[in-house]
């Protein structure tokens, strides 16, 4: 088994200690955790449709447009891909417990993954976060166990197969939406009251339904803003209806396959020892240059095409034929960059700060939900739909700084973040020691 993995675990009775963790993985996880908020802040602070179309929050010119384009090119999909890959790597770390009974480890893994599903339900329903990924990770993780013993080459084969399948979904969405949009445009050009063919009527109805589901209809956006300024019950009803869709149809059509492909790739990279910063600097530099060399120009082209199309639905992020290639390449570029920094031994304080955030990824992820909803929803300060992207991203910087400082202070005294401690205690069915030695 991998030496780096075997060094990072203890016995079956206890989770991984802070000293036995792989620092580079925690650092990379910290980068992804903070980076994810760059995209998620849109759904926290603005109508959900702003995640797909900058016209929803007026980010079509000036600094706000630059921030929209920057997020599309440098962040969109990439951080989520890294997060998913590291989940796959984490399975291998968890499974490689020296001297442990395979059946017992299997039971622990399924209990741990089932608990993640519950955390996801808690985040989505109780904490009102419609963009939760914990539920999807937990559900996908139940399948991931079946691939644990495959060689890295076979894992790569499966990952490519699954990602090609998701690419077919993106291609199908792109061309079907383009065709649907053309039919709707023809119908609208006839003017109000014109007699439409059956195909045109069905197409217009399907188009309106789709806009409503993605939060892109003006009436739906107005209703969302009003609801988000209301109390907990109204917000719960609104969030629950969208969450149910995303955790059923959204999961089966897109979320499951998207996540599974990246997790399988993460397992392959872990077995190839990419994540433990043990490969050569030359290897990581090549990975960084190749990833950014493909991902950034491709993402820039996609964004430019989206803008020049007049923000047509078929050019929105997940409807782009090249979406997976762009975000995967971007993710590999960031992985290479972080590993170059870790391998070189530079910026050690920054590495430590990001690693602390990564060690408390579950706590920090849930904390982002709590902080953002308290600031933007009517249950707190009610700032929903009040800030432009400049204000939102200044707020994101503030959340980053807070989480870096909070994680540093917390881990000076405790072994785990509070939700990590709860997760581990429930997984092992025993209260885990919380205080660090000497605290």
**b/e burial code for range 396-429 (CB count within 10 A of at least 16 → b):** beebbeebbebbeebbeebbbbebbbbbbbbbbe
Question: Among the listed ranges 105-119, 240-254, 385-399, which one has the minimum average pLDDT value?
Answer: 240-254
Q: Which pLDDT score is estimated for 391?
A: 97
Write out pLDDT tens, residues 213-245. 777 888 889 999 999 999 999 999 999 999 998
Give me the pLDDT at residue 192, please: 83
Q: Note whether 292 and 112 are within 8 A (CB).
A: no
Contacts of 105 (CB under 8 A, 6+ apart): 12, 94, 95, 97
pLDDT at 187: 86
Average pLDDT, the chain: 91
- In the prediction, which pLDDT does 410 show? 97
59, pLDDT greater than 50: yes
Percent of the chain with pLDDT strictly greater than 90? 75
Q: What angle do CA 207, 213, 216 make, to 5 degrees?
A: 75
Instruction: Find the mean pLDDT for residues 351-377.
Output: 98
Q: What is the mean pLDDT of residues 362-387?
A: 98
- Which tens digits make up the pLDDT trace of 90-111? 999 988 766 667 778 889 999 9
pLDDT on residue 11? 43
Confidence of residue 418 (pLDDT cuts 50, 70, 90): very high
Mean local confidence (pLDDT), 253-278: 95
**Which two tokens mark 301?**
């082209």
- Quote the CA–CA distance of 387 and 398 in Å, as a whole number: 15
- Per-residue DSSP letter, 414: B
What average pLDDT does this structure show over 108-122? 96
Give the H/E segment covering residue 239.
helix 232-247
- Residue listed under structure tokens 């209301």: 230
The predicted pLDDT at position 335 comes to 98
Is 273's pLDDT higher than 50?
yes
Rounded (10°) angle between helices 256-271 and 323-344: 30
Token pair listed for 439: 């605290």
Q: To which residue do tokens 């803008």 refer?
A: 307
Q: What is the DSSP letter of 230?
A: S
**Mean pLDDT throughout 306-333?**
93
Q: What pLDDT sits at residue 7?
A: 35
> What residue segments make up the domains of the chain, in order of their start?
3-428
């Amino acid at each position: 088994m991998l030496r780096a993995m075997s060094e990072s675990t203890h016995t079956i009775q206890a989770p991984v200690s802070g000293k036995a963790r792989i620092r580079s993985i925690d650092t990379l996880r910290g980068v992804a955790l903070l980076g994810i908020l760059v995209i998620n802040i849109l759904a926290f602070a603005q109508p959900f449709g702003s995640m797909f179309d900058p016209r929803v929050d007026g980010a079509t010119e000036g600094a706000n447009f630059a921030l929209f384009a920057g997020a599309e090119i440098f962040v969109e999909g990439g951080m989520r891909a890294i997060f998913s890959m590291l989940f796959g790597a984490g399975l291998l770390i968890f499974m490689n417990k020296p001297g442990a009974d395979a059946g017992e480890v299997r039971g622990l893994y399924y209990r741990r993954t089932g608990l993640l599903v519950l955390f996801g339900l808690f985040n989505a329903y109780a904490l009102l976060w419609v963009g939760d990924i914990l539920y999807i990770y937990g559900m996908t993780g139940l399948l991931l166990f079946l691939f644990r013993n495959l060689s890295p080459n076979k894992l790569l084969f499966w990952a490519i197969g699954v990602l090609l399948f998701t690419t077919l979904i993106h291609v199908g969405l792109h061309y079907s939406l383009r065709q649907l949009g053309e039919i709707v445009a023809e119908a609208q050009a006839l003017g109000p009251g014109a007699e439409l063919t059956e195909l045109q009527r069905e197409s217009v109805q399907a188009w309106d339904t789709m806009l409503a589901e993605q939060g892109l209809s003006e009436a739906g956006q107005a209703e969302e803003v009003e609801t988000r300024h209301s109390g907990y019950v109204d917000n719960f009803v609104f969030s629950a209806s969208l969450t149910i869709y995303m955790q059923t149809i959204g999961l089966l059509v897109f979320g499951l396959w998207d996540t599974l492909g990246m997790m399988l790739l993460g397992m392959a990279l872990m077995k190839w020892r990419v994540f433990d910063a043990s490969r050569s600097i030359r290897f990581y530099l090549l990975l960084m240059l190749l990833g950014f060399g493909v991902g950034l120009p491709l993402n820039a082209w996609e964004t430019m095409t989206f803008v020049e199309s007049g923000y047509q639905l078929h050019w929105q992020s997940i409807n782009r034929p090249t979406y997976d290639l762009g975000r995967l390449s971007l993710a590999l570029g960031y992985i290479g960059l972080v590993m170059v920094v870790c391998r070189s031994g530079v910026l050690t304080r920054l590495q430590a700060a990001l690693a602390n955030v990564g060690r408390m990824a579950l706590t920090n992820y849930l904390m982002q939900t709590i902080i953002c909803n308290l600031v933007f929803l009517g249950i707190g300060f009610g700032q929903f739909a009040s800030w432009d992207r400049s204000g939102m991203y200044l707020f994101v910087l503030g959340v980053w700084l807070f989480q870096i400082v909070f994680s540093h202070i917390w881990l000076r005294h405790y072994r785990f973040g509070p939700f990590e401690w709860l997760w581990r205690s429930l997984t092992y069915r025993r209260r885990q020691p919380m205080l660090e030695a000497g605290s």
